[in-house]
């Protein structure tokens, strides 16, 4: 078997409802698909969810880069995945700040999808299948107190067992929102993401204000380029502190682990360059006693299926936040995962469950 060609195309998704986080309001998202077509057998499909602020990539650049990789991969054996990825990594190493991680993730995803289809197995089973399903949180963007509570009640009624509330613009108002949701929903799991919006002092004030709410985690409260602030907060607060935007490479995982700079990390395939690098990161942080959560960008169900397959395989993954597909209008890959009462289930179809 040899790779005959690559097919690349962008898809712009409209969000059913725009959302606001600490540094932007999002109303649409563009994913870039790749299809690796072998000379015999079924093709493999992958997807990139580039984000200039997180991965350092734009959709336009990602589409161009993926097209340029075709001559590099044509003629290669797609079942020798690591050899193919090694070629891609070498080509992308000096390109953009982090080597085009979502483009790498898309190629690796397509190779894994092809392998699964060749073997007649879903990728989540190939990776080990430590679990068979995973409850996911669902995100509430920055809203007023009453609207936050109303949205929380709606999601709870839909069966979600965990909510992630976004904030970072006003720590006092954010604390009020958390307290109001906890009062309205005493049993639901609460997580909070400040998206780098706080100073160290504001973070400590927020944590003190929400004392007694059983907040499960506080995600990236301070700027990514202030690692010592995150380390001091991790040491000083009873709430589990999660690193997200400051974890962009495998080397970052070593830095976080060596310095005990976080209690948890948010692993996203798109920012780390796919499942292979995510496996490395999870192994590093697990050795340091740091737990993992698998998160997502604004990405279609095919991307979510890859994140879920990784999460299902790893014992150290304690949480998932794989809701990036739920608000995308007319997702052609929707069949790749199944959601029931807030729990994500993988497809039993071969590969990642979507045939394109």
Which residue from 212, 232, 236, 235 is spatially nearest to 222, judged by alpha carbons? 232
Of 57, 219, 282, 327, the catalytic one is 219
Interstrand relation of 343-346 and 162-166 (parallel, antiparallel or unpaired): unpaired
Q: Say how far apart CA 128 and CA 310 lie, in whole Å.
A: 9
7-16 burial, b for 16+ CB within 10 Å, e for fewer?
bbeebebeee
Q: Say how far apart CA 175 and CA 89 lie, in whole Å.
A: 43
CA 117 to chain centroid: 24
Q: Say how far apart CA 329 and CA 333 lie, in whole Å.
A: 11
Of 76, 117, 166, 271, the catalytic one is 166
Residue 98 sits at the vertex; the CA angle it makes with 109 and 249, to the nearest 5 degrees, is 75
Annotated catalytic, 117?
no
Q: Say how far apart CA 113 and CA 336 lie, in whole Å.
A: 11
Annotated catalytic, 166?
yes
| DSSP letter string, 90-113 | HHHTTSSTTS-HHHHHHHHHHHHH
Annotated catalytic, 164?
no
The gap between the terminal CA atoms of the chain, to the nearest Å, is 21
Strand, coil or helix: 259: coil
Of 174, 244, 245, 299, the catalytic one is 244
Which residue from 127, 208, 226 is spatially nearest to 171, judged by alpha carbons? 208
In degrees and rounded to multiples of 5, residue 60 shows phi and psi of -65, -45
Annotated catalytic, 219?
yes
- Pull the structure tokens for residue 138: 């669902």
Q: Say how far apart CA 151 and CA 67 lie, in whole Å.
A: 41
Could you give the dihedral angle defined by the CA atoms of residues 274, 313, 189 and 252, in that order, rounded to the nearest 10 degrees?
-40
Q: Which residues pair with 38 in a beta bridge?
A: 3
Of 174, 193, 245, 298, the catalytic one is 193
Of 117, 164, 268, 271, the catalytic one is 268
Q: Which residues are catalytic?
A: 166, 193, 219, 244, 268
């Amino acid at each position: 078997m040899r790779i005959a060609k690559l097919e690349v195309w962008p898809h712009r998704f409209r969000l059913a409802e725009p959302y606001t986080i600490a540094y932007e309001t999002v109303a649409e998202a563009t994913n870039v698909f790749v299809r690796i077509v072998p000379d015999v057998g079924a093709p493999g499909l992958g997807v990139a969810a580039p984000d200039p602020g997180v991965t350092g990539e734009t959709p336009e650049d990602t589409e161009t880069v993926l097209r340029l990789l075709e001559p590099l991969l044509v003629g290669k054996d797609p079942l020798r995945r690591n050899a193919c990825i090694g070629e891609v990594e070498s080509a992308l190493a000096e390109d953009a700040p982090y080597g085009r991680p979502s483009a790498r993730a898309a190629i690796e995803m397509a190779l894994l999808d092809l392998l699964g289809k060749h073997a007649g197995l879903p990728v989540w089973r190939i990776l080990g299948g430590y679990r068979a399903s995973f409850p996911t949180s669902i995100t509430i963007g920055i809203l007023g107190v009453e609207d936050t509570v109303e949205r929380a009640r709606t999601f709870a009624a839909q069966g979600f067992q965990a909510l992630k509330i976004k904030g970072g613009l006003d720590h006092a108002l954010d604390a009020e929102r958390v307290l109001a949701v906890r009062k309205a929903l005493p049993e639901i799991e609460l997580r909070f993401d400040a998206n780098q919006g706080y100073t160290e002092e504001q973070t400590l004030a927020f944590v003190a204000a929400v004392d007694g709410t059983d907040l499960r985690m506080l995600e990236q409260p301070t700027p990514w380029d202030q690692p010592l602030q995150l380390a001091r907060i991790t040491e000083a607060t009873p709430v589990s502190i999660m690193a997200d935007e400051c974890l962009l490479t495998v080397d970052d995982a070593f830095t976080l682990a060596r310095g005990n700079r976080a209690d948890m990390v948010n692993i996203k395939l798109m920012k780390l360059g796919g499942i292979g690098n995510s496996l490395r990161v999870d192994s590093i942080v697990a050795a340091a006693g740091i737990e993992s959560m698998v998160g997502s960008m604004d990405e279609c169900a095919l991307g979510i299926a890859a994140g879920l397959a990784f999460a299902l395989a790893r014992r150290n993954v304690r949480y998932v936040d794989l809701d990036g597909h739920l608000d995308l209008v007319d997702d052609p890959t929707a069949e790749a995962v199944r959601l029931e009462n807030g729990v994500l289930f993988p497809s039993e179809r071969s590969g990642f469950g979507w045939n394109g």
